Amino acid sequence: MDGLFLAAQGAFTLEDLTPALLVGSLVLLVSVAAVRLSVKSGLPSLLLYLGIGLAIGEAGLGIEFDSAELTQVLGYAALILILADGGLTTRWEGIRGAVAPAAVLSTVGVAVSVVVVGVACRYLLDLPWTTALLVGAILSSTDAAAVFSVLRRVPLPRRITGLLEAESGFNDAPVVILVTALAAASADPAQADPWWVLTWHAAVELAGGSLIGLAVGWAGGQFLRRAASGSSGLFSIGVLSLTVLAYAAAVSVHTSGFIACYLAALVLGNMTLPHRPAVTAFATSMGWFAQIGLFVLLGLLASPSRLDEQLLPAVVLGLVLLLAARPLSVVVSMTPFRFSWRDQAFLSWAGLRGAVPVVLATVPLTLGAPEVDWIFDLVFVLVVIFTLVQAPTLPWVARRLGVATSYRSLDLAVESTPLEELGAELLQVSVGPESRLHGVEVFELRLPQGANVTLVVRGGAGFVPAPNTAIRRGDQLLIVATSETRAKVERRVRAVSQLGRLAGWKKSG
């Protein structure tokens, strides 16, 4: 088994290939099967993948792996693919109104969270200030993979989902800059920059990375549109390559690669490019592949024999993060945008941590910071415990706070050349138990010209509806719409779901 990771030492040979493929393929198959358990239990799949990593590691099958540097390299590569997946599958209409609050939450909110957790580390764990703030920075980033996986299961209003998606896409960049700076300061205090210099550098890196990401996304999309291959598979590779190019270009000029990658993917995902369903499916597949590899790798790096030592500190800091740091960062960031207290309470609970903090916990080790080996174990334990607490309870919290909706629209990844040629898209609508779509006849939806309900699935059986077919709770509706009318269709169905057949003649409260 040890031969599986000889590649990290430059000694991987053909003899090592067979066991590596055997174990790797079995891990992937088990991980794919674990998704069903994840859906049934409400737990993010990341916990199951971490468990697989622990099971095949030193305390399980005996695979020994302790390279923090390789973990960081592969972790960054995986985060690029995860951010690319998030950007390519995020609709601009869904996050347009959330960009400003998400940007504030990803910067000002992160700063508030770092200070609160840092103070707790200083006075509760008696850590030096630099180390205390370093721990606060590592724990301050929400995780894109965890957030995206949970949002697929919780029906939330667009203002909430858009904000959470944008925040998880934006906040990796400032946190990576902050963690790297604090880790470097811990390794060599004489070279530490004043806070105002660090703030200036972070602002320049974020601005530069943003410009590069937007430029690469737009210019690359224009190029691919003109040089589009007839093969959807090749075109999908080209689109994903552009997001990687944005990261590499930004880092090459010492700006933020993560924000460049996400913004390039966001631009590409919202351009009218050919083969869109294939691109989305490919990006999602690569995102899943990256998540599985990353979480299994982090599970391998963890040493179960050391984790119990960090149980109490992890619980203490986790409670500070969940009950003080995250709520305060949300209040400070969201109050100017007039988010209700219910929305703010849910956003506070929905700040899921995942692979990003665990990967960032390897940065101090690779930069040579002294006496920080325990940080990885602490962050690992904290992420596991509080993901177990937060993720399964999110649907219940959403219902109790009254922010859950009874309607949501999902994109369908469908390979259909005729639809592409017609400029058409498919939407799936789930009618929830409290939706006022119940009892509304299909013609009363008054969908815009170019859109129609083509299929209703009720009780497991599908049928083509007539204009006077009444919609029922629990129905699944398949709507075909032109690309130009898609946003109007979503707004119309959402309005009828909230106000009933009189939507359009009266306003929502």
Of 466, 454, 449, which is closest to residue 427 (Cα–Cα)?
Answer: 454
CA atoms within 13 A on the CB side of 337: 20
- The closest alpha carbon to 79, from 358, 301, 328, 394, belongs to 358
The confidence band for 263, taking pLDDT boundaries of 50, 70 and 90, is: very high
- Domains of the chain, by residue range, sit at 2-401, 407-502
Domains 2-401 and 407-502 share a fold: no
Residue position matching structure tokens 């305390």: 59
Please tell me the predicted confidence (pLDDT) of residue 421. 54
Q: Which pLDDT value is given to residue 415?
A: 43
Tens digit of each residue's pLDDT (9 = 90 or more) over 384-416:
888 888 877 888 888 888 887 665 554 444 444
**Cβ contact 111:182 at 8 Å:** no
Q: How far apart are CA 118 and CA 384, in angstroms?
A: 21
Spatial contact of 5 and 67, defined as CB atoms under 8 Å apart: yes
- C-alpha distances (whole Å) from 285 to each of 22, 85, 280, 408 are 21, 9, 9, 23
Residue range 288-331, pLDDT digits in tens: 888 888 888 888 888 887 888 889 999 999 999 999 999 999 99
Q: Decide: 454 and 479 in contact? Cβ < 8 Å.
A: yes
Reported as a single tens digit per residue, the pLDDT across 342-352 is 999 999 998 88
Query: Which residue, among 293, 236, 286, has the nearest Cα to 73 in the 3D structure?
Result: 293
Regarding the domain delimited by 407-502, which CATH topology (the fold level of the hierarchy) does it fall under? Alpha-Beta Plaits (3.30.70)
Q: What percent of the chain has pLDDT over 70?
A: 88
> How confident is the model over 129-149, as pLDDT tens digits?
989 999 999 998 877 666 666
The more confidently predicted of residues 509 and 62 is: 62
Q: Looking at this protein, which amino acid is placed at residue 330?
A: V
pLDDT given for residue 262 in this prediction: 92
Three-state SS at 409: strand
| CATH of the structural domain 2-401, one choice from 3.90.79.10, 1.20.1530.20, 3.20.20.100, 1.10.150.120 | 1.20.1530.20
Give the confidence band of 230 by pLDDT, cuts at 50, 70, 90: low
Per-chain mean pLDDT for the chain: 83
For the entire predicted model, the pTM comes to 0.75
Question: For the purposes of burial, counting CB atoms within 10 Å of the CB of 230, is it exposed (0-12), middle (13-18) or buried (19 or more)?
Answer: exposed
